[in-house]
Amino acid sequence: MELKDFMNSLADTPVPKQDAEYVELEKQYEEKFGHIVPREMLPPSIKIDDIKKAMIDCIESGNGDILKVLNVEINDKYFY
């Protein structure tokens, strides 16, 4: 299937319910810091509500280092 057709077929599927608050916070976070939350690097203990709180903290403080706010340590030598 051509890429355009495949993407259109995805776009035409019923839209799943979104967490509107999360989406809005993510937009604000991205506008302020230029990137999204690196959720692929977060541990399983961190839930959606934790991320929302952390995004609010970052937006209000102006500090975009959300990994630090969430106390997540990353090692440059590992693959995540």
Partner 1 sequence: MSKVNADLSELAQTAQEITVAVNSVSETKTSLMRKYQQLGVGWKDKRYEELGDIIRECVRALNDIQKNLLQSNKFILGLIKSIQEYENVNISEGNESDSSFMQRLRNGVSSLAGGERYQYCLGVLTKGHVPSDYIEIIRSRHDNADPTARRVFDGFVDKLMIQNADYPECETAHYSPISYPGHSRGVYYNAEADATNPRGAGATYFHELGHMIDHASSDFHENMSNNIDFGRALIEDGQNVLSTFNNMTSERRNNFLSVIRQDAAHSFSDLIDATTNGQLHGSYGHSRGYWQRSGNLQAEAFAHFFEASMGGGWKLQLLSNMFPTAFAMFREMLESIQPEERTRVLER
Q: Does 31 engage in binding with partner 1 (CB under 8 A)? A: no
Q: Does 26 engage in binding with partner 1 (CB under 8 A)? A: yes
Q: Does 62 engage in binding with partner 1 (CB under 8 A)? A: no
Q: Does 20 engage in binding with partner 1 (CB under 8 A)? A: no
Asked if 64 contacts 74 with a C-beta cutoff of 8 angstroms, the reply is no
Interface with partner 1 (CB under 8 A), residue from 24, 29, 31, 36? 36
Cα-based distances in Å from 24 to 18, 19, 29, 49, 61: 10, 9, 9, 14, 18
Neighbours of 37 (CB within 10 A): 23
Q: Provide the binding-site residues for partner 1, judged by CB under 8 A.
A: 1, 3-4, 6-8, 10-13, 15-16, 18, 22-23, 26, 30, 34-45, 67, 71-80
